[in-house]
């Protein structure tokens, strides 16, 4: 069987794989990481998110989102409203903690360049949920930038912990230095 190899355009190779462009991803990553971290930090000290009234803030947000399903051009899809009413609202207390600590962890991972592509994926997931709940604010811009960070995962964390950690840990399709002996045993 013949295999076909498609080359990447030089511009995209430079933008998404070259460490020469990694300084741009550092700036972008720090901005997005800061936004996530500060959003989680504000929630961390708000009793409506964490503490005695946990779940109160997210309940109000979700109830408002569920109301946006009416009219000729609804802001929230019926299927997402069903998700809100049947899964998110009954678990608002737990969801409040998940959102708060999720934002903090995504922010810290992006700031430190630790598992950058994975952190950007979870940030994009949160942005998508906010958008599907009918909230615009900075979410579309962050989502777009996170898609670029996910695409540039090979060099977006170059000026960060990924530069040293990923070669040691490896990837699902390529074991790192810490797991080379395990990978060799699995192949035999």
pLDDT digits (tens, 9 = 90+) for 10-22: 888 888 888 999 9
Domain boundaries, the chain: 20-160
pLDDT tops 90 at residue 60 = yes
pLDDT of 107 above 80: yes
Q: What is the pTM of this model?
A: 0.88
In this prediction, residue 122 has a pLDDT band, given cuts at 50, 70 and 90, of: very high
* Mean pLDDT on 53-76: 94
Using the predicted structure, report yes or no on whether residue 182 has a pLDDT greater than 80.
no
- The reported pLDDT for the residue numbered 104 is 98
Please provide the DSSP assignment of the chain as one string: -----PPPPHHHHHHHH-GGGHHHHHHHHHHHHHHHHHHHHHHHT-TTTSSTTTTHHHHHHHHHHHGGG-SSS-SS-HHHHHHIIIIIGGGHHHHHHHHHHHHHHHHHHHHHTSSHHHHHHHHHHHHHHHHHTT--TTHHHHHHHHHHHHHTHHHHTTTSTHHHHHHHHEETTEE-GGGHHHHHHHH-
């Amino acid at each position: 069987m013949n295999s076909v190899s498609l080359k990447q355009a030089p511009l995209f190779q430079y933008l998404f794989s070259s460490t020469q462009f990694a300084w741009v991803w550092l700036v972008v990553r720090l901005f997005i990481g800061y936004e996530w971290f500060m959003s989680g930090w504000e929630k961390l000290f708000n009793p409506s998110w964490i503490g005695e009234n946990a779940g109160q803030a997210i309940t109000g947000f979700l109830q408002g989102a569920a109301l946006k399903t009416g009219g000729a051009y609804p802001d929230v899809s019926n299927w997402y409203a069903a998700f809100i009413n049947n899964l998110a609202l009954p678990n608002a207390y737990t969801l409040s903690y998940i959102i708060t600590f999720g934002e903090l962890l995504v922010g810290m991972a992006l700031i430190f360049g630790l598992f950058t592509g994975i952190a950007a994926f979870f940030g994009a997931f949160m942005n998508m949920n906010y958008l599907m709940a009918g909230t615009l604010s900075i979410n579309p811009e962050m989502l777009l930038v996170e898609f670029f960070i996910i695409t540039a995962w090979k060099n977006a964390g170059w000026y960060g912990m990924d530069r040293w950690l990923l070669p040691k840990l490896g990837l699902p399709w390529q074991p790192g230095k810490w797991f080379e002996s395990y990978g060799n045993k699995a192949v035999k």
